[in-house]
Amino acid sequence: MLDQFLSTIADLARDSGVAGFFAEGGWKNIVMILISFLFMYLAIAKGFEPLLLLPISFGMLLTNLPGADMYHSEFWVYQTVGDNDHYIDYGNILQHGGLLDILYMGVKLQIYPPLIFLGIGAMTDFGPLIANPKSFLLGAAAQGGIFFTFLGAALLGMSAAECGSIAIIGGADGPTSIYVSSKLLSNSDSIGVGTIALAAYTYMALVPIIQPPIMRALTTKKERSIVMGQLRPVSKVEKLIFPILVTVVIALMIPSAAPLVGMLMMGNLLKESGVCDRIAKTAQNELMNIITIFLGTTVGATTTAKTIMTLSFAKVIVLGVIAFSIGTACGILLGKLMCVLTHGKVNPLIGSAGVSAVPMAARVSQKVGQEEVPTNYLLMHAMGPNVAGVIGSAVAAGVLLSIVAH
């Protein structure tokens, strides 16, 4: 009787998560759990993109608890059939997967990011961009960070898929980064979607710290003091034509950007039409919140100890900040060029808002501008490049997806 009792207790202890910490490599899980605590602290106490970092960090905690079996990275290995064809065995996942495996299917099948874009579209006012279409160019220039980082990652000897996934961090757009990396990366790559998402959202939260020094270094006091006039009012019909036009032009030109741009513009049309208030509100609030929970938690769950505690993660962190900085610099430099061409009518500071990160990047332009002239309101001028950056990074994502094999 006593023997049986003791052996049952011993079995329980062996199966418990605590035993998992002492198993081989178990210390890595402890480190990861501590890292998840750090991200929770940053999200709660420091307000770093809490809506995403908090679910991500909790997903990180869940996945690194030994024996909880909520997420299985081994299920997501590509099976090869025939010569080149590779696929994921979704039937197996549905049958044996844990909660987070099932939810992660939405990431792997690229369902969540376009739905997030639907919500973003329903919240975005493209008015400033329509009033000043030249802002599109600033949104394009800031994507330079993506392609130059691609170059940097290639120099470090990473695979093509890894180069593309790291580079997209420079677009400063979380859903786009997840979209591209989940499509490109497979198990043979040394980094995962979670790593990319973590780096992207951390840097987006750090926009107000990373951007201003670059902005000040590249502009003169005189340029920063340029006061821009008021934008012209935009009529409703113009706002209605815009999403349809952008969808048709971009989807025909770069079909692989269609899911992101198409959903973004559909959300915007729902909002601007004024006749679908109920749907627009759902897209902005309930749908977006639900998807954010699924996306954050599952992306966090992919950050298992064996994917994060590698040299590649360090490379992602370093290249990510470089991508961000180059993007900011490219935007500012084109802003300077536009300033010269318009004989000083454009304040180059609005160029840095071309990296998406809506609306934080635009607020940074406003803040840096106001340091020179307190009555200068650059916010609406910076919103143009800012929303153009969202379209620009979706286009850049489409280009990467069509160039790099997955």
Partner 1 sequence: MFYNTAQLLSNKLSGHDYTGTDIASVVITGMSVVFLGLILLVLFVSIYGGAFKRRNEKKKAKQEAEKQAALADKPTVLEKAKPAPQSAPAVEDGIDDEVVAVIAAAIAAMGAKSGKKLVLKSVKRSVSQRDPWAAAGLVDNTRPF
Residues that bind partner 1 (CB under 8 A): 129-131, 133-134, 136-137, 139-141, 143-144, 146-148, 150-151, 154, 157-161, 163, 232, 234-235, 237-238, 241-242, 245-246, 249-250, 253-254, 278, 388, 391-392, 395-396, 399-400, 402-405
In the bound state with partner 1, the residue whose beta carbon lies nearer, of 82 and 91, is 82
Other CB atoms closer than 10 Å to residue 359's CB: what's the count? Answer: 17
Q: Which two tokens stand for residue 45?
A: 């106490």
Give the nearest distance from C-beta 64 to partner 1 in angstroms: 30
Provide the phi-psi class of 357: left if phi over 0, else alpha when psi is between -120 and 50, else beta.
left
Give the separation between CA 261 and CA 391, rounded to whole angstroms: 7
Give the nearest distance from C-beta 283 to partner 1 in angstroms: 16
Other CB atoms closer than 10 Å to residue 78's CB: what's the count? Answer: 14
In the bound state with partner 1, the residue whose beta carbon lies nearer, of 1 and 237, is 237
Alpha carbon 54 to its chain centroid, in Å, reads 15
In the bound state with partner 1, the residue whose beta carbon lies nearer, of 32 and 339, is 339
Give the nearest distance from C-beta 73 to partner 1 in angstroms: 21
In the bound state with partner 1, the residue whose beta carbon lies nearer, of 104 and 148, is 148
Give the nearest distance from C-beta 399 to partner 1 in angstroms: 5
Give the nearest distance from C-beta 143 to partner 1 in angstroms: 5
Give the separation between CA 256 and CA 252, rounded to whole angstroms: 9
Give the nearest distance from C-beta 159 to partner 1 in angstroms: 5
Give the separation between CA 123 and CA 371, rounded to whole angstroms: 29
In the bound state with partner 1, the residue whose beta carbon lies nearer, of 239 and 271, is 239
Q: Which residues contact 125 (CB under 8 A, 6 or more apart)?
A: 383, 387
- R_g (Cα) of the chain, nearest Å: 23
In the bound state with partner 1, the residue whose beta carbon lies nearer, of 94 and 245, is 245
In 3D, which of 354, 329, 326 has the Cα closest to residue 135? 354
Give the separation between CA 303 and CA 73, rounded to whole angstroms: 10
